[in-house]
Structure 1
Amino acid sequence: MAGFWEKLLGIEKEVQRQTERAEIMSGGTALFTPFSGNAYESDIYRAAVDAIARNAAKLKGKHLIASSERRLTGDKQLNRLLQVRPNPYMTAYDLLYKLVTHYYLFNNTFAFLDKDERGYLRAIYPLSPQSVEYMTDANGTMYCKFLFSNGQEVTLPYTDVFIARRFFNSNDLLGDTNTAIIPALDLAHTQNEGLENSIKSNATIRGILKYNQVLSPEKLKEEKAAFINDYLTVENNGGIAAIDSKFDYIPLESNPVSVDDKQLNAVKQKIYEYLGISESIVNSTYSEDEWASFYESIIEPLAIQFSLELTDKLFTEREQSFGNSIMFESNRLQFASNTSKTNIIKELMPYGLFTANQALEILNLPPVENGDKRIQTLNVVNADKADKYQLNEEGEYQDESNKSEE
């Protein structure tokens, strides 16, 4: 990663401007520090975030040049950065996974857009700062001042930083923290501790050891320690103690309180609802309708947010006016049932909406030679040709019945 830090520090030297904290309309400061609630240490929260990140990382970023008449694939090098290798250290899947994970852990995710002297993108690096402070110079140009865990402090132009926010409410430049979920995470941790203690309590013997002879305090401690080591440990399989007549053992009732399934599920559901995800998505038992709902409510908003941010940061207003944009998309039909896939192909292919290879891709089958031609039934006629077919040269409708009689 030495080359990465050299790039960042090189840009820091180029900036060399007098900056001050940015003022925001809502008051306060535009200062970001990572959430310290250790949400990622919760197995429930981590599993849910992982499920979202794994599926969001399947999105495919594309540079498109679109107009009202056509839609073309853009620069090949840019598409390779977005789809294969955004930087020397990770794949496109790794990049999206990390950005989405930060998005749900900190409600703010950052990446450095490494551009050359002409403004063309060379690489994308996800950032894991300890704090981020928005700054402005005398001309009103905005910068992001990053402080990293190794002590490095770097100020980058706002236009070279990819930023996505969640819970974008109280601050004009940053997403809110995850403090609202802390009680549920604490309760989940307490439940796990309670289950562990309950298991340990049930695996040991508890009681009073009464000796039938007088022993010195030192000897009594030795006998007690020996009894504990022999019988009052988890290793005492079966929970049985064998004693002789020199002492009596009086057991004590132990009724550890266990957490029932309803309480466990209630806390788990509370965390899932906070993240907007269902348990079926987390454990991959979702139905087709459940997947569609998850895609529309979670994956699609992420795709739109990432697309808009990269479009604005990579292209000038003039380039955007000519149709240049970045779009993250995925083939949603790949997650449909075979019955739904077959019905969609059957209904839409006669209209020329699919090529043979596109239909095969939906079915997760390899392409065939000359399969990029569109197939259309003769029963579907172009609207212009239909008018010519039904109208005569004078613009009057042909009477097909009279024509046949003549």
Structure 2
Amino acid sequence: MIFDKLEKRDTVDVNDWKDVYSFEKGYDTTMFNSCFQESDYFKCIKIISSDVAKVPLLVKQHTENGERIAKEHPLFDLLKNRPNPYMSAVDFFKSLEATRQHNGDSASLIVRNIRGKVTGLYPINIVEILIDDVGLLKTKKVVMPIVVTYTCGKDGQQYTARYEDILHFKGFTLDGMTSMCVRKSLKTTLDTNISAKNYQKELFSNGLTSKAVVQLTSDIKDEKELKKTQEKFNRMYSSKGRILTVPAGYSVQPLNLSLTDAEFSVLRKMGTVDTFTAFGVPLYMAGILEGYNNNAMEQATLSFLNDTLQVEFTSIEQEGNYKLLTETDRKNGYYLESDTTYLFKQDSKTLTAILISQVQNGITRPNEARRKLGYDDDINGDELLLHSGMMPLSMVLNPVVVPLTTQEVKPV
């Protein structure tokens, strides 16, 4: 195979998550047993990936009469319902977005038939990106080909593909090709939060009893006497019941600070704020409601859509427009667009008021409004309606007088 004979010149390793955690006591370095055990980190990734996944990616078309949903396009059902036989569109995009937030980038293999038609999209894990900057694979179509080494599934076997045959979704990037994941900047915060939770777990497992030291108050120097005293203590100490009976001649002193003295709750809150701020997720989604009212929550939600989610939607649309749609499709006006209206589901009363206003002002046809409310089309509902008493300002300032026509009346 020609890829086996390539000399590596410029490689980018984008799968470096294993070197993030190396604690003294040794936390597990597998992906789901390290930073994913930190609830704030897991919650942020879950919120972002779920919001991205529940917004359908639609195929639309620019026409002379405006924009329309192109349900007849072969990609419509694949992107909206089933990218591959094994997962729904929600599972597919949730997997891609969760991987992008965790690793810094994510990818999907584009499978085509012999006619070039896209038949499936499969999530993959990028291992290495090889940029041919010396022209070993120079072709007429691509000046500097990029070869991607990836794994698919749990067998660990590596495969290769051309860069144009994968959808590559990047996170924060400085050079446009490599990405940096959020957890690298949050390493200290995540380490602290995980250590704090393990300490809290150990404290509760010990019955909220801190560590203590037992001191012998009497001065015994004879080794045999010390051994007898130790055996006596062992008989009186019950580790199972967490009961410590202090014999005469002993004193007990606690070693650990209390949670209140250590300001445990304050430190946990600071860690939550750092994590949610780094991901761009509003704090009220973490249960921190200080300074929030209904209006502030609405503004925070809009900011979350515009500042955090919109760039994710745009990257998915642009990557799909270039690699999934053909040049002929783009010339015919086809394009991909995320329907973000799914993020804002109003109650029935609010939705009805909005639709009435749109129909009365000639923005929406009556049948379009009826479909959104779950009603059948009306025979006269495909025309726009306008108020009869409205006219342009120019006609008010310069009225036009239309003379009445007189009809000649013939005598009987």
Indicate the TM-score class for this superposition, using the shorter chain for normalisation: 0.7 to 0.9
The 1:193–1:125 alpha-carbon spacing in structure 2 relative to 1, beyond 3 Å, is same
Q: Is the 8 A contact 1:209 1:249 kept in 2?
A: yes
Output the amino acid matched with 2:282.
Answer: S
Please, which of 149, 152, 165 is the counterpart of residue 160 of structure 1? 165
Matched, 1:128 2:128: no
- Where in structure 2 are the equivalents of 1:235-314 lying within 5 Å? 235-236=241-242, 241=245, 247-258=248-259, 259-282=263-286, 287-314=297-324
Q: Is the 8 A contact 1:18 1:138 kept in 2?
A: no
Q: Is the 8 A contact 2:83 2:92 kept in 1?
A: yes
TM-score between the two structures when normalised by the length of structure 2: 0.75
The 1:397–1:212 alpha-carbon spacing in structure 2 relative to 1, beyond 3 Å, is closer
**What is the deviation of 1:31?**
3.1
Secondary structure at the aligned position of 1:125 is classed as strand
Aligned counterpart, 1:33: 15
Root-mean-square deviation (Å): 3.8
**What is the deviation of 1:354?**
2.9
Q: Is the 8 A contact 1:22 1:30 kept in 2?
A: no
Percentage of matched positions with identical amino acids: 14
The 1:293–1:172 alpha-carbon spacing in structure 2 relative to 1, beyond 3 Å, is closer
Aligned counterpart, 1:7: none
The 1:147–1:124 alpha-carbon spacing in structure 2 relative to 1, beyond 3 Å, is closer
The 1:225–1:293 alpha-carbon spacing in structure 2 relative to 1, beyond 3 Å, is same
Deviation by residue 1:242-279 (Cα, 9 ceiling, x = unmatched): x7xx7444232455242432221111111111101113
**What is the deviation of 1:380?**
5.5
Output the amino acid matched with 2:357.
Answer: E
Q: Is the 8 A contact 2:14 2:178 kept in 1?
A: yes
- Where in structure 2 are the equivalents of 1:202-221 lying within 5 Å? 202-203=208-209, 206=212, 207-208=214-215, 219-221=228-230
Aligned counterpart, 1:367: 375
Separation in structure 2 between the aligned mates of residue 333 and residue 55 of structure 1, nearest angstrom: 7
**What is the deviation of 1:185?**
1.1
Q: Is the 8 A contact 1:40 1:105 kept in 2?
A: no
Separation in structure 1 between the aligned mates of residue 225 and residue 96 of structure 2, nearest angstrom: 67
Secondary structure at the aligned position of 2:364 is classed as strand
**What is the deviation of 1:299?**
2.2
Aligned counterpart, 2:88: 91
Deviation by residue 1:170-198 (Cα, 9 ceiling, x = unmatched): x3412124422211111212322343455
The 1:320–1:380 alpha-carbon spacing in structure 2 relative to 1, beyond 3 Å, is farther
Separation in structure 2 between the aligned mates of residue 329 and residue 191 of structure 1, nearest angstrom: 41
Separation in structure 2 between the aligned mates of residue 382 and residue 374 of structure 1, nearest angstrom: 21
The 1:211–1:338 alpha-carbon spacing in structure 2 relative to 1, beyond 3 Å, is farther
Q: Is the 8 A contact 1:86 1:123 kept in 2?
A: yes
Deviation by residue 1:35-66 (Cα, 9 ceiling, x = unmatched): 23243332210111101111111111111221
**What is the deviation of 1:240?**
6.9
Deviation by residue 1:343-377 (Cα, 9 ceiling, x = unmatched): 42232221233345654676xx5333549934644
Secondary structure at the aligned position of 1:250 is classed as strand
- Where in structure 2 are the equivalents of 1:5-404 lying within 5 Å? 19-21=6-8, 23=10, 29-36=11-18, 37=20, 38-74=34-70, 75-129=72-126, 131-136=127-132, 137-139=137-139, 140-147=144-151, 150-169=155-174, 171-178=175-182, 179-199=184-204, 200=206, 202-203=208-209, 206=212, 207-208=214-215, 219-228=228-237, 230=238, 232=239, 235-236=241-242, 241=245, 247-258=248-259, 259-282=263-286, 287-332=297-342, 334-336=344-346, 340-356=350-366, 358-359=368-369, 365-370=373-378, 373-374=381-382, 376-379=384-387, 398-399=400-401
The answer to which of 214-223 and 256-265 deviates more is: 214-223
Separation in structure 2 between the aligned mates of residue 60 and residue 88 of structure 1, nearest angstrom: 18
Deviation by residue 1:100-159 (Cα, 9 ceiling, x = unmatched): 101110111110011112221101101124x12234323333321225663422111111
Secondary structure at the aligned position of 1:168 is classed as coil
**What is the deviation of 1:333?**
7.0
Output the amino acid matched with 2:89.
Answer: A
The 1:63–1:155 alpha-carbon spacing in structure 2 relative to 1, beyond 3 Å, is same
Separation in structure 1 between the aligned mates of residue 304 and residue 88 of structure 2, nearest angstrom: 25
The answer to which of 92-101 and 343-352 deviates more is: 343-352
Secondary structure at the aligned position of 1:128 is classed as strand
Separation in structure 2 between the aligned mates of residue 103 and residue 212 of structure 1, nearest angstrom: 64
Q: Is the 8 A contact 1:198 1:256 kept in 2?
A: no
Separation in structure 1 between the aligned mates of residue 150 and residue 337 of structure 2, nearest angstrom: 28
Separation in structure 1 between the aligned mates of residue 328 and residue 82 of structure 2, nearest angstrom: 27
Separation in structure 1 between the aligned mates of residue 79 and residue 231 of structure 2, nearest angstrom: 69
Output the amino acid matched with 2:330.
Answer: Q
Output the amino acid matched with 2:129.
Answer: E
**What is the deviation of 1:302?**
1.2
Output the amino acid matched with 1:126.
Answer: P
Q: Is the 8 A contact 1:109 1:163 kept in 2?
A: yes
**What is the deviation of 1:216?**
5.1
Q: Is the 8 A contact 2:167 2:323 kept in 1?
A: yes
Q: For structure 1, list consecutive stretches of 5 or more residues without a partner in the other structure.
A: 1-12, 24-28
Q: For structure 2, list consecutive stretches of 5 or more residues without a partner in the other structure.
A: 21-33, 406-412
The 1:208–1:374 alpha-carbon spacing in structure 2 relative to 1, beyond 3 Å, is farther
Separation in structure 2 between the aligned mates of residue 118 and residue 318 of structure 1, nearest angstrom: 15
The 1:57–1:372 alpha-carbon spacing in structure 2 relative to 1, beyond 3 Å, is farther
TM-score between the two structures when normalised by the length of structure 1: 0.76
